[in-house]
Amino acid sequence: ANVIDDLLVYRRDKQKFLVVVNASNDEKDWDWLNKVRNGEVRVDNQRPWTLAFGRNVILRNLRDRAAGDDMRVDIAIQGPRSRDILLKLDSSLTDQEAIKALAWAQLCEVSLDGIDLIVSRTGYTGERMGFELFVHPDKAVAMWNALLEKGESLGLKPCGLGARDSLRTEAGLPLYGHEMGGMLNLGVGQAGFGNFIKTYKPWFIGRQAFLDQEEKRDGEVIRFTFDEKRTRMAHLGDPIVDERGKVIGTVTSCAINSEGSLTGQAYVGEKYTKEGTALYIYQGAPEQAGKAPAELTKGDRVTLPARATVITRFPK
C-alpha cells in the first residue's frame, strides 16, 4: 500500500487511457507499469503467484521520441478566465463547443491555433476552472507564446512550480514526497484520501495492505495556518509539539497563502486533527542540539516554536 506516485488516469476511449505522472517519477512509474504487466513484481503477498489484470495491454511512453506524432508534454492554464483565454485562440466552432462542454476531469481532442491538443479540465491549484493542454513538444513553445499573447489582456501570467505549490498547499491538495510517500512514507489514508480507495472491489494491487495500514493508522494530514503573519516559513520535516511540549507530528508543506499568511499541511496524531487545535511548530529546526537549559546565560538565544492552528482540510 505504499505510494509510488500521485497521478491522473484519463479515459480517452473504451480501451484507450492517458496516464499523466509527476515528471520526477516518470522512469519509476514506467518501470513499475511494465514490471506489473510482465509479471516481474509481486502484486499479492497472500498469493505470491497472482498476476495482475491487463497482461496484453500496450504501453507507450509519450515522452519518448519513439512515440512520434503522439508525443505529449503538459502546459497548465489555471484560473477563472482560463476558458475565456482558450476560446480566444483560433479554432472551429465544434472545438469551441467541446471545450465549453468539459466538466471537471473530462477531456477532449481539439485544434487551437492550428496545433492538435488533448485538453482536460484539470489542474493542481484548487481552482475549479482550469485546464491542462497536452501538446507535442515541438509545438509547445508556439502554444505557450500563443497563450501569453491572447491571454495578456485577461491578466494571464507565466508561473512556475513554486506558484503551483503554494496554491495546492493552500487548497489542501497532497503532493508525492510530502503528504504521500516521501521521507514519512505516508499512505493514502494517512494523507486523508482513504475514501477514494474502493475497498468493496474484491481485488486490486495493495488492497489487503491498505486495509492493514488503515487498521493501525493513528494520524492524518491536516491543514494549518500560523497565528501571526510575521513568522518564519516551515519546511518538510519540521517537528510539531503540543502545548505541553510533546512531539505530535511533522510539517509536510508550507507556503504563503492568498491573504499573505503562512498556510501549511502536516501529519499529526489523530487526537490533534480537530479544527481549532493549537499546534506549536519549530520552523527550520536545527539538527544539532543547543545548550542545555541549565547552561544558558544572559544573552543566549534559544529556539522557540511558533503557534499555529488547525483549519479545515479544504477551503470552504
Among 195, 260, 182, 253, which residue's Cα sits nearest to residue 224? 253
pLDDT of 5 strictly over 80 = yes
Segment 56-89, tens digit of pLDDT: 999 999 999 999 999 999 999 999 999 999 999 9
Calculate mean pLDDT across residues 184-210.
Answer: 94
Place of cell 504521500: 180
Q: In percent, how much of the chain has pLDDT > 90? A: 85
Q: What share of the chain is helix, strand, coil (3-state, %, to 5)?
A: 30, 25, 50
The per-residue pLDDT of the chain, averaged, comes to: 94
Is 149 flagged in the annotation as binding?
A: no
For residue 280, give the C-alpha cell.
506549536
Identify the weakest region by mean pLDDT among 31-35, 92-96, 213-217, 292-296. 292-296
pLDDT of 270 strictly over 80 = yes
Q: What is the pTM of this model?
A: 0.90
d(CA 240, CA 249): 5
Do the beta carbons of residue 131 and residue 117 sit within 8 Å? no
Segment 170-193, tens digit of pLDDT: 999 999 999 999 999 999 999 999
Question: Given this model, what pLDDT does residue 96 score?
Answer: 97
Q: How many CB atoms lie within 10 A of CB 22?
A: 14
Which one-letter amino acid corresponds to residue 102?
Answer: L
d(CA 281, CA 234): 8
Q: Could you tell me where in the chain the CATH 3.30.1360.120 domains are found?
A: 168-311
Calculate mean pLDDT across residues 142-151.
Answer: 98
Q: Residue 1 — very low, low, confident or very high, per pLDDT cuts 50/70/90?
A: confident
Q: Which CATH number fits domain 8-154: 2.40.50.140, 1.10.3720.10, 3.30.2000.10, 3.30.70.1400?
A: 3.30.70.1400
pLDDT of 286 strictly over 80 = no
Place of cell 544573552: 299
Q: Residue 125 — very low, low, confident or very high, per pLDDT cuts 50/70/90?
A: very high
Question: Given this model, what pLDDT does residue 184 score?
Answer: 94
Question: Given this model, what pLDDT does residue 278 score?
Answer: 98
Q: Residue 55 — very low, low, confident or very high, per pLDDT cuts 50/70/90?
A: confident
Q: How many CB atoms lie within 10 A of CB 145?
A: 11
Q: Residue 310 — very low, low, confident or very high, per pLDDT cuts 50/70/90?
A: very high
Q: Which backbone phi and psi does 27 adopt, to 5 degrees?
A: -65, -40
Question: Given this model, what pLDDT does residue 103 score?
Answer: 97
Segment 214-237, tens digit of pLDDT: 999 999 999 999 999 989 999 999
Length of the chain: 316
How wide is the angle at C-alpha 62 spanned by C-alphas 58 and 2, nearest 5°? 75
Question: Given this model, what pLDDT does residue 148 score?
Answer: 97
pLDDT of 41 strictly over 90 = yes
Q: Could you tell me where in the chain the CATH 3.30.70.1400 domains are found?
A: 8-154
Provide CATH code, domain 168-311: 3.30.1360.120
Q: Residue 11 — very low, low, confident or very high, per pLDDT cuts 50/70/90?
A: very high
Reported as type and span, the H/E element at residue 213 is helix 207-216
**Cα torsion at 175, 41, 196, 267 (round to 10°)?**
-40
